[in-house]
Structure 1
Amino acid sequence: MSDQDRARALRRRHVHERQAVVFGVLIAGLGVAGLGAAAMYTDNLSLPFFERGFSAKPTAAAESVAVYCPPEGALPVPNDQITVDVYNGAGTAGLARQTAQSLTGLGFVVGATDNAPSVSGVGRIVYGPAGSAAAYTLLAYLPDAVLQLADRADARIDLTVGSGFEGLLPPEQVVLDPATPLVGPSGCTPFSELTAATQDGEQADGGEQPADGEQPAEGEQPAEGDQPAG
């Protein structure tokens, strides 16, 4: 082989080596990016500058509001009829996912899982009037959680685990009897006061209805069939 042929062969080998290095770096970078994306998606990695949107964004601190008793005579709701959105307010990576798995194992239906602003204590259960019995049912598995009423129409509830969260109670330690009505904490506000306030607000928004027998305003035509008898 001539010197010229050897030089060409050497150049080709160097080109191939450079290409191999470039492609190797690209493949490695893609692999790292893929692992990072998977970790973020499964809640195993939490970045302080990355904040995802919430389906129902909890507040940072529980407000000092009245705790309403469960509806009178309300029974525990079967776990498989309760939908819970789980939020991580403890700052521990993967805690929302782990808690969601625990809830699923207990038969609850888990909706969204996400990060949340920092929450102190064991956690917070956010619910609307329609989800009162469901919230008290979940509270039996997390007795030290704070109940917080929200303005929502459905029975879905949120569980935000806080910095003091150590796990849900195992079923054998949960004090719930399917045939025994739920009981609220001492001093809780009767649920009837909540429903009464809600009804008063709806009537106020609905406007005033004319009383029976009230004559139509001047110039208003009577409805068909309301002509005076001959």
Structure 2
Amino acid sequence: MTSPAPDPVRETRRKREHERQAVVFGLLIAFLLLAGLAAAAMYSGAFSSPFSRPIYTPVAEAPQPEPCLPQVEGQPDGALPVPYADVKVRVYNAADGSEPLAGANEDVLNERGFNVVDTGNWVEKLGQSEVRFGTKGITRAYTLAAQYPDVRLVLDDRKGATIDLLVGDEYSPPLSEDDVLLDAETPMKDVEGCVPASEITPIPRVTLPKN
């Protein structure tokens, strides 16, 4: 009996399948070899696995706490307000708008007897208004802050007693004089959540360039 002639189409298909299988097996073998080499390198310490590195998640820096009032010699019941004329203050605009907020606050503070020694524009824009001061100006800062409904007390590393009022975007006008809770004979109260100044790291003082 005569054997059937080979089918060329079937032979070609079988050859292609063999070639495809050889490629697949070759890739698998190459992958296993590379994985083995990588594992050996990590085991020997040649390089570290990316999965062994700690995941870094940025943490928002907590704002500086506000300082408590200091003990003042001759005022055993607590620090009294500083006479307005003894409070040297610089007033700066730290808001985005073009409204002359520094000048407007200068007028109000001068009318109340504060000693405004300078005005101008601050070097950065702020949201909440701030009073900045050194350790010698804490009672002065509290005296000034009492004129406003919402202002933050910020301790910096200046040496003198002059303080700065920075008027930010979230600016609130000064309280009326009748609403200022200060009395020359009544000790001032600490702001809520305050920390003794000795436990606070002051921020660097910002010095504005001179014109």
TM interval, short-chain normalised = 0.5 to 0.7
SS in 2 for 1:101: helix
Deviation at 1:118, TM superposition (A): 1.2
Residue 127 of structure 2: aligned partner = 120
Gaps of 5+ in 1: 1-61, 199-230
Residue 28 of structure 2: aligned partner = none
Gaps of 5+ in 2: 1-60, 72-77, 203-211
Deviation at 1:187, TM superposition (A): 2.2
Deviation at 1:63, TM superposition (A): 7.1
What's the CA shift string for 1:168-227, capped at 9, x where partnerless? 111100001211212112221134x359x99xxxxxxxxxxxxxxxxxxxxxxxxxxxxx
114, 117, 120: which one aligns with 1:108: 114
Residue 141 of structure 2: aligned partner = 135
Deviation at 1:92, TM superposition (A): 2.8
Identity of aligned residues (%): 37
Deviation at 1:110, TM superposition (A): 0.5
Residue 98 of structure 1: aligned partner = 104
How do residues 33-72 of structure 1 correspond to structure 2 at under 5 angstroms? 64-72=63-71
Change (3 A) 1:63 1:112: farther
Residue 177 of structure 2: aligned partner = 171
Deviation at 1:107, TM superposition (A): 0.6
Query: How many pairs align?
Result: 134
Change (3 A) 1:143 1:63: farther
Residue 83 of structure 2: aligned partner = 78
RMSD of Structure 2 on Structure 1 (CA): 2.2
SS in 2 for 1:112: strand
SS in 2 for 1:175: coil
Matches of 1:176 and 1:145, distance apart in 2: 16
What's the CA shift string for 1:16-74, capped at 9, x where partnerless? xxxxxxxxxxxxxxxxxxxxxxxxxxxxxxxxxxxxxxxxxxxxxx9711211011321
What's the CA shift string for 1:126-179, capped at 9, x where partnerless? 010000000000111113101100111111000011112131111100001211
Matches of 1:75 and 1:68, distance apart in 2: 16
TM-score (norm 2): 0.59
TM-score (norm 1): 0.54
